[in-house]
């Protein structure tokens, strides 16, 4: 039993690794579905903004210190029943059982603010001034009823946080076809607008 638990932990941060997180997330979603009146459950995805630059500028040891600092900040602000994991690289995931997405958003915002104000000393004597993170939040049953749908909605919210300037948390929203004469969802239009901006195109033909 002990070996199985260790195999589901991330060596660097002590959080659940991807395997351990996914197994427990599946169980928690099932529990929410069978509970009276379907208890809410919120999934949040987050990562460190421009983490590769931190590694390049300060080294991978400093990058590891950043990841540990993020993990500690998350653990300090979530309740004991929350599920926290390091999904891979600089990506972190949290499941808030019994919590609506607005509540999860506020909790994530507290985490983001604390991490953005942290100062980490690195081996060369310099200091990393703040760790910016971006995050996305999606909730059962409002944003989806399956693991895949919740992942997709949370990932889209994270993407919107990134293209909107980073260092922010965004909520998932219902994807509607806009305008009605096109076949693009809101998220697709935002991605097309970003692409058009990068290529210097003023308008997107739909």
Query: What pLDDT digit, counting tens, does each position of 138-157 carry?
Result: 999 999 999 999 999 999 99
Which range, of 2-11, 60-69, 187-196, averages the lowest pLDDT? 187-196
Question: Both 51 and 40 in a single domain?
Answer: yes
Question: Both 25 and 44 in a single domain?
Answer: yes
Sheet with 169-171, strands from edge to edge, namely 83-88, 91-97, 41-48, 133-140, 169-171
Question: Both 34 and 130 in a single domain?
Answer: yes
pLDDT over 70 (residue 201): no
81-97 pLDDT, tens digit each: 999 999 999 999 999 99
Question: Both 71 and 150 in a single domain?
Answer: yes
Per-residue confidence (pLDDT) for residue 7, from 0 to 100: 83
Question: Both 144 and 195 in a single domain?
Answer: no
Question: Both 15 and 89 in a single domain?
Answer: yes
Question: Both 195 and 164 in a single domain?
Answer: no
Task: Report which listed range, 9-23, 111-125, 174-188, is most confident.
Answer: 9-23
Question: Both 70 and 56 in a single domain?
Answer: yes
How many CA atoms lie less than 13 Å away from 173 in the CB half-sphere?
Answer: 10
Nearest alpha-carbon partner for 54 in 110, 107, 133, 109:
133
Question: Both 142 and 191 in a single domain?
Answer: no
Separation CA 172–CA 188 (nearest Å): 14
Question: Both 167 and 194 in a single domain?
Answer: no
Total tally of structural domains belonging to the chain: 2
Separation CA 158–CA 90 (nearest Å): 13
Name the pTM for this structure: 0.82
Instruction: Domain of residue 201: give its range.
Output: 175-206
CATH of the domain at 99: 3.30.70.270
Question: Both 123 and 145 in a single domain?
Answer: yes
Separation CA 165–CA 158 (nearest Å): 11
Residues 117-138, mean pLDDT to the nearest whole number: 92
Question: Both 154 and 107 in a single domain?
Answer: yes
């Amino acid at each position: 039993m002990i070996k199985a638990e260790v195999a589901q932990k991330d060596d660097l941060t002590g959080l659940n690794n991807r395997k351990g997180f996914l197994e427990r997330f599946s169980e928690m979603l099932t529990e929410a579905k069978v509970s009276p009146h379907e208890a809410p459950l919120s999934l949040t995805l987050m990562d460190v903004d421009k983490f590769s630059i931190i590694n390049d500028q300060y080294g991978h040891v400093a990058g590891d210190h950043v990841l540990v600092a993020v993990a500690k900040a998350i653990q300090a602000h979530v309740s004991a029943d929350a599920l926290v994991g390091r999904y891979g690289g600089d990506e972190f995931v949290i499941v808030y059982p019994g919590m609506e997405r607005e509540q999860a958003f506020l909790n994530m915002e507290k985490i983001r603010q604390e991490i953005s104000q942290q100062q980490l000393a690195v081996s060369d004597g310099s200091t990393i001034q703040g760790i910016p993170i971006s995050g996305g939040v999606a909730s059962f049953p409002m944003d989806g009823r399956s693991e895949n749908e919740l992942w997709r909605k949370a990932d889209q919210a994270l993407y919107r946080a990134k293209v909107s300037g980073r260092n922010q948390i965004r909520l998932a929203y219902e994807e509607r076809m806009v305008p009605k004469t096109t076949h693009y969802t809101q998220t697709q239009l935002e991605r097309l607008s970003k692409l058009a901006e990068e290529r210097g195109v003023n308008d997107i033909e739909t």
